[in-house]
Structure 1
Amino acid sequence: MHNDDGINGAGGGADGHPQDRPPVPHTVIEGRYELLEPIGSGGMGEVWKAHDRRLRRFVAVKGLLDRRAMTPDTQKAAMQRARREAEALAKIEHQNVVTVHDQIETADQVWIVMKLLEGRSLADLLSRDGVLGVPRAADIGLQMAQGLRAVHEASVLHRDVKPGNVLVRDGGQVVLVDFGIATFEGADRVTRYGGVIGTPPYLAPELFVPATHGPTSASDLWALGVTLYEMVEGRLPFGGNEVWEVQANIQQSPEPVLRYAGPLGPVIQGLLATDPDGRLDAATAEAMLREVLADPGTPTPTRAAAPAHPPTARPTPPAGPSSGAVPSGSVPSGPAPSGPVQSGAVPSGPSSPAPREGRGRFRGWKVAAAAACVVLLAGGGWIVSRGDSGGERDDASGQQGAGSAGGDAEQAWEQWKSARKRLTIGAKEDQPGLSFYNEDTGVWSGFDVDIAYALAGKLGYDKAQVDFYGVTTANRASKLKNGEVDLVVASYSMTPAREKRDGIKFVGPYYKAGSSLLVRKNSAKYDLDEAVDVKRNHVEVCTARDSTYADKLQEDGYTTGKWQPDTYKECVERLLDKHSSVYAVASDDVLLAGYARNDPAHLKLLPSGAGTEPYGVAMRKDDPLLQSKVCSGLQEILAGKEWSEMYMKDLSPLTGRKTAPSRPELRPCST
């Protein structure tokens, strides 16, 4: 189970009553559930990881009562209410809702015992990736709607639907969690202190109208709409930290601009209807989301439309003054065009019948989705990310394109380039010397960046036509397959296993790195001067999730933590934290050398170990034309003076070499 909110503090509450004091570790509830450690807290109550002594399994235990809002006079009524809520939650059996195993009542608390789930919250995913592709957002939204329908059919309201309370497991399963403030329809909408229950940016507008009866199932569906918007647009539809700010923004701009939603637009608009009676219900939202995933009759954008660069993309500053013209296929800086679709854009069809009741106005949503998709495509605002295929492409993108060009490779390449006026390259933002993005100046630098620029030049793009996009070890493969980047040059270790697992193709190597460990320079507890010291002392080693070191460390006998972060920068931050259990970071020697050089007072690089990590340029495996051009371009770079000059400029200060090493030997290119 995962929650992203803080833990309620220990000690007496506002009134100093015993019930205000939360339990402590190793408290045993009803002689069965031993509380081990707090793992989160929602709007009310505490959540603990616990051990079920009877069935010998780990579970999540949550108290439903807000200890701060209880007094001796209100305790009896609060206990009765929490008891009814626990009974209702226990009856919900659905794959998209956390499973409740048991209900326990103590003298001053009602507990629910739930299945302990491992995974990442949707909030974590959005924090890492910024935005999600339309198909993935639709899939997550569909599972959320299914879970909410099961909850509502049990006459329960979640009341705090938001990314932090949505768990996304490794297999793709989505689970609604944190029912700490769940309740029944028609319940009071404020706490004892007069504050609104829930998280402000996700609260429906009707909760603030005095004449209404409080939260309903429609309120949860509003929060689903906010979450869907946040997934595809990369921001909240109605900003503000305080309740009044959010509500003022809803009143001033009730229809937030949709730039990247594509066919999800009608779903989001239906869920964000300010009138709860006109808002989509869970069943209708499910049906619409299924249609978005099935995509029947929706125009599929071809590769001729450049992929939209979400708000998190980092464009490279142009080398010279801009003409002000927007290149064909690039993303407009303003909102998507509105108004009637130009003649011939969409085949005319029968008009949808006039709505006859409440939500009937959404029956024509398929036509609206198709029209919205074409309008957005006209502005280059959206492109479908399609599983492992990397998106639909026109003939100029692959083998068919070469054939249609009559075997003329140059003509086929010009067709490929005409479909992409700009080249988007994925690179890491936080690796000094290799690839680094300076947020103050907006400038990218490092060996990987220079390789990428040189390679772009061989492909016929100048620096002003190159956009760099920040990627991590964990998400670079998905960014390629989703069509968000054309190439990845990000210290990507090229192995056959990765090509098969990630569904990509490597060209390279353009560099070979050794393996090493970064440690604290002056550790009061351990003397760590060689790799064997790290292993012998069983200190915790951190590495990036999905890196080649993630599995290798355990195989080699090192001690690793249960959870690994997405970036090496996070590992280094843990290493520098004196309260952290991390004492070493494992990665490539040249990568770690950049961190050591930036903080020589606190960090020390250990001697390199055995083996090398060959860095490759990664691309989608279904684009042999691009593979061929990248291969010939990289061959030219390795054969000339460019490679040695880039090494001496970027890597020599890290490695200490006075001359460039021998160039890596390019592997044979095959498609």
Structure 2
Amino acid sequence: MTSGGDDVRLIGGRYQLGNRLGRGGMGTVWRAYDQMLAREVAAKELNVASDDHEYHRRLRRAQREARTVARVHHPHVVGVHDLVEHDDRLWIVMELVDGPNLARRIADDGPLTPRHTAALGLQLLGALEAVHAAGALHRDVKPANILLRRDGGAVLTDFGIAALEDDESLTTTGELLGSIGYMAPERLTTEEAGPPSDLWSLGATLSAVASGVPPFQRATGAAALHAVTFADPEIPERVGPLRPIVEALLNKSPDQRPSAATVGAALRRVADGAEDPGPLPPAGTPGDFPAYPAGAAATRADVVDTPTLTATPSATAPHTLAGAPTPTAPHTLAGPAALDQEPTVVDQAAGSPPPGRRDRGRGRGRGRGRDRGRGRTWWWTAGAALAVAALAAGLFFAFGPPSDNDDGGDDAAQPSTSTSKVTVDAARGWQSATSIPIQKGDRVSVRYVSGTWTVDSANLPLVGPAGHTAADDQSLRFAWENCKVNSAVPFGALLGRYPGTPGNPHPVHRAWSFQATRSGTLQLRANDREGCLDDNKGALTLTVQITH
């Protein structure tokens, strides 16, 4: 891709490409320089198939994405500048947000406090109101599609699967776009999706940001589909005062979810430090969601742009959310609670499912719409059986197998705990995580502290213990069979193994706890097999706690 025979990669005669910023299911984003206006921009190269039908389908989708975002003027919605066709490729030229996405921020530094999460939630709510006022749905709200500016402000991006309400659907039959764990249940069935669907995704995002664990994270896509459609969300205690908001937004029935105004009032209370977010009554039918004027949506009081997360009132008059006190001064999250000061690790109870990937990247789930009523009896029966099995497994891992010495005597030895730090190198295979063997009966806890790595330093970005995004993992599909140690999790996921532990090699993610049923040595590594490690880079730091 050259211009004038030189080595400068130039598209549209004016945008000089730089380094790659990220890659997802819909395309690759590059840093670029607009030579005409002398400014840095982001250029998104859309994936285009070779056949004509697919090319035109993606062309229409790209035009829709550009048109949708260009209609929205809001400080927390990414700005679109241009749509370019160049060398049989499609490019969307956008505002450059020079910061990480929210999923990467959490993977690197841990979950945010409830107050910080609520402040970001207000920004995103204002962005969604502006999108809805423009007659569009985002349809893919999740941490990976939220960029963070240097001042800490959030920017909603990646409208690659947004659907204009007054335009034909471009989704092929049976195709589900978006990340399953953040998709409202009505999008998985034949029900109509509307603004409440985006609010559902916002609720799932708030829970994931404040806890580090998506509320419908499951080991397989099928299990995630069932969880979104039928199961209650798993909301960790760390979510704190956000819990009532998340629970209300994740109601299975769209007409039972609160309105944007109600959610805004509740989020503002939490951002102000309240432990009770206030009442969250349902908005009624989806048609009851107000169509906010685009101008008003862009000047809401929940716009937060400064490093101290200050909410700026409208330039014309102070804007007060229903149920919130009238602001007399700019709203500021003052003090250490405004931002996470140290990386936070999510506690993982022994025997419970490991936290899943927070960054699903731009991967697209696939599935079919289902009748909600079909199979309920079967699911309840199967669920009861699984619950009994899970309880038995939990007791086994919590207390271990019966011991000949369990006589309940008063002379039993008191437990002692030792904690050590270990660094796991991406370019090495299995690495010992302890200097001494673990003994039978010891309780072991492995927790991620910091660090990033990649299994393809030339093409893939650095990631945390959850591994590469679904889209980046899919780009290496050709190597799954020969290079993956654990085929069930993405490349780069942190793996652990210990003799006798079910599920070896075990996906550690951010935390892993178990009780040793025999003596042995704990080993850790990245999910990349020997013979494929030459292009790996980076390392993770973890703590290993052993209670004897």
Structure 2 Cα separation of the partners of residues 356 and 30 of structure 1? 46
Listed as ranges, the matches of 1:245-260 within 5 Å are 245-260=223-238
In the alignment, which residue of structure 2 is the partner of 1:562?
none
Structure 2 Cα separation of the partners of residues 269 and 426 of structure 1? 36
Structure 1 Cα separation of the partners of residues 267 and 22 of structure 2? 31
In the alignment, which residue of structure 1 is the partner of 2:82?
102
Residues 298 and 206 from structure 1, CA distance in 2 versus in 1: closer, same or farther, beyond 3 angstroms?
closer
Aligned counterpart in structure 2 of residue 207 of structure 1, from 187, 198, 201: 187
Residues 160 and 43 from structure 1, CA distance in 2 versus in 1: closer, same or farther, beyond 3 angstroms?
farther
In the alignment, which residue of structure 1 is the partner of 2:487?
none
Residues 246 and 185 from structure 1, CA distance in 2 versus in 1: closer, same or farther, beyond 3 angstroms?
farther
User: Secondary structure of the residue that 1:138 maps to in structure 2?
Assistant: helix
Is 1:168 aligned to 2:148, yes or no? yes
Listed as ranges, the matches of 1:241-390 within 5 Å are 242-296=220-274, 298=276, 357-358=284-285, 386-387=337-338
In the alignment, which residue of structure 2 is the partner of 1:129?
109
Is 1:67 aligned to 2:48, yes or no? yes
Structure 2 Cα separation of the partners of residues 44 and 133 of structure 1? 31
Report the residue type matching 1:136 in the other structure: H
Query: Residue 29 of structure 1: CA displacement?
Result: 2.4
In the alignment, which residue of structure 2 is the partner of 1:47?
29
Is 1:92 aligned to 2:69, yes or no? no
8 Å Cα contact 2:207/2:235 also seen in 1: no
Output one character per residue of 1:295-350: Cα deviation in whole Å (capped at 9) or x when no partner: 35749xxxxxxxxxxxxxxxxxxxxxxxxxxxxxxxxxxxxxxxxxxxxxxxxxxx
In the alignment, which residue of structure 1 is the partner of 2:203?
225
Residues 45 and 255 from structure 1, CA distance in 2 versus in 1: closer, same or farther, beyond 3 angstroms?
closer
Report the residue type matching 2:337 in the other structure: R
Structure 2 Cα separation of the partners of residues 227 and 352 of structure 1? 21
In the alignment, which residue of structure 1 is the partner of 2:39?
57
Query: Residue 82 of structure 1: CA displacement?
Result: 3.5
User: Secondary structure of the residue that 2:238 maps to in structure 1?
Assistant: coil
In the alignment, which residue of structure 1 is the partner of 2:399?
none
User: Secondary structure of the residue that 1:132 maps to in structure 2?
Assistant: coil
Query: Residue 577 of structure 1: CA displacement?
Result: 7.8
Report the residue type matching 1:249 in the other structure: A
Residues 80 and 470 from structure 1, CA distance in 2 versus in 1: closer, same or farther, beyond 3 angstroms?
closer
8 Å Cα contact 1:60/1:114 also seen in 2: yes
Residues 580 and 242 from structure 1, CA distance in 2 versus in 1: closer, same or farther, beyond 3 angstroms?
closer
Residues 208 and 580 from structure 1, CA distance in 2 versus in 1: closer, same or farther, beyond 3 angstroms?
closer
Aligned counterpart in structure 2 of residue 120 of structure 1, from 85, 88, 100: 100
Residues 225 and 164 from structure 1, CA distance in 2 versus in 1: closer, same or farther, beyond 3 angstroms?
same
CA-atom RMSD in angstroms: 4.8
In the alignment, which residue of structure 1 is the partner of 2:91?
111
Residues 28 and 431 from structure 1, CA distance in 2 versus in 1: closer, same or farther, beyond 3 angstroms?
closer
Structure 1 Cα separation of the partners of residues 171 and 280 of structure 2? 45
Output one character per residue of 1:15-71: Cα deviation in whole Å (capped at 9) or x when no partner: xxxxxxxxxx9543221113334332333133222221212332111245x523x74
Residues 355 and 82 from structure 1, CA distance in 2 versus in 1: closer, same or farther, beyond 3 angstroms?
closer
Residues 284 and 112 from structure 1, CA distance in 2 versus in 1: closer, same or farther, beyond 3 angstroms?
farther
Structure 1 Cα separation of the partners of residues 271 and 280 of structure 2? 25
Is 1:178 aligned to 2:158, yes or no? yes
8 Å Cα contact 2:117/2:210 also seen in 1: yes
Structure 2 Cα separation of the partners of residues 243 and 93 of structure 1? 35
Report the residue type matching 1:282 in the other structure: A
TM-score by length of 1: 0.42
In the alignment, which residue of structure 2 is the partner of 1:38?
20
Residues 356 and 99 from structure 1, CA distance in 2 versus in 1: closer, same or farther, beyond 3 angstroms?
closer
Output one character per residue of 1:461-504: Cα deviation in whole Å (capped at 9) or x when no partner: xxx9xx99865599xxxxxxxxxxxxxxxxxxxxxxxxxxxxxx
**Which fold has the larger relative contact order, with Cα–Cα distance below 8 Å and residues 6 or more apart in sequence?**
2
Residues 254 and 59 from structure 1, CA distance in 2 versus in 1: closer, same or farther, beyond 3 angstroms?
same
Output one character per residue of 1:538-565: Cα deviation in whole Å (capped at 9) or x when no partner: xxxxxxxxxxxxxxxxxxxxxxxxxxxx
User: Secondary structure of the residue that 1:148 maps to in structure 2?
Assistant: helix
In the alignment, which residue of structure 1 is the partner of 2:376?
none
Residues 84 and 290 from structure 1, CA distance in 2 versus in 1: closer, same or farther, beyond 3 angstroms?
same
Structure 2 Cα separation of the partners of residues 73 and 472 of structure 1? 46
8 Å Cα contact 1:139/1:293 also seen in 2: yes
8 Å Cα contact 2:17/2:31 also seen in 1: yes
Query: Residue 118 of structure 1: CA displacement?
Result: 1.6
Report the residue type matching 2:184 in the other structure: A
Structure 2 Cα separation of the partners of residues 165 and 389 of structure 1? 21
Report the residue type matching 2:132 in the other structure: H
Report the residue type matching 2:18 in the other structure: L
Query: Residue 185 of structure 1: CA displacement?
Result: 3.0
Query: Residue 366 of structure 1: CA displacement?
Result: 8.8
Query: Residue 425 of structure 1: CA displacement?
Result: 12
User: Secondary structure of the residue that 1:261 maps to in structure 2?
Assistant: helix
Residues 425 and 471 from structure 1, CA distance in 2 versus in 1: closer, same or farther, beyond 3 angstroms?
farther
User: Secondary structure of the residue that 1:60 maps to in structure 2?
Assistant: strand
Structure 2 Cα separation of the partners of residues 36 and 267 of structure 1? 42
Query: Residue 197 of structure 1: CA displacement?
Result: 0.7
Structure 2 Cα separation of the partners of residues 224 and 442 of structure 1? 43
Unaligned stretches of 5+ residues in structure 2: 2-6, 289-321, 325-334, 342-416, 426-431, 453-523, 526-531, 542-548
In the alignment, which residue of structure 2 is the partner of 1:650?
none
Q: Select the structure that is richer in helix.
A: 1
Is 1:28 aligned to 2:6, yes or no? no
Larger radius of gyration: 1
Structure 2 Cα separation of the partners of residues 240 and 76 of structure 1? 35
Structure 2 Cα separation of the partners of residues 33 and 581 of structure 1? 31
Report the residue type matching 1:67 in the other structure: V
Report the residue type matching 1:262 in the other structure: G
Structure 1 Cα separation of the partners of residues 435 and 76 of structure 2? 39
Unaligned stretches of 5+ residues in structure 1: 1-9, 11-24, 300-350, 368-383, 391-423, 444-463, 475-568, 571-575, 586-590, 592-671
Structure 1 Cα separation of the partners of residues 58 and 117 of structure 2? 38
Query: Residue 110 of structure 1: CA displacement?
Result: 4.5
Query: Residue 268 of structure 1: CA displacement?
Result: 0.4
User: Secondary structure of the residue that 2:52 maps to in structure 1?
Assistant: coil
Residues 111 and 217 from structure 1, CA distance in 2 versus in 1: closer, same or farther, beyond 3 angstroms?
farther
User: Secondary structure of the residue that 1:291 maps to in structure 2?
Assistant: helix
Structure 2 Cα separation of the partners of residues 425 and 175 of structure 1? 43
In the alignment, which residue of structure 2 is the partner of 1:83?
63
8 Å Cα contact 2:256/2:282 also seen in 1: no
Report the residue type matching 1:180 in the other structure: G
Report the residue type matching 1:239 in the other structure: Q
Residues 239 and 55 from structure 1, CA distance in 2 versus in 1: closer, same or farther, beyond 3 angstroms?
same
User: Secondary structure of the residue that 1:49 maps to in structure 2?
Assistant: strand
Query: Residue 101 of structure 1: CA displacement?
Result: 2.1
Report the residue type matching 1:280 in the other structure: P
Listed as ranges, the matches of 1:598-613 within 5 Å are none
Query: Residue 190 of structure 1: CA displacement?
Result: 7.4
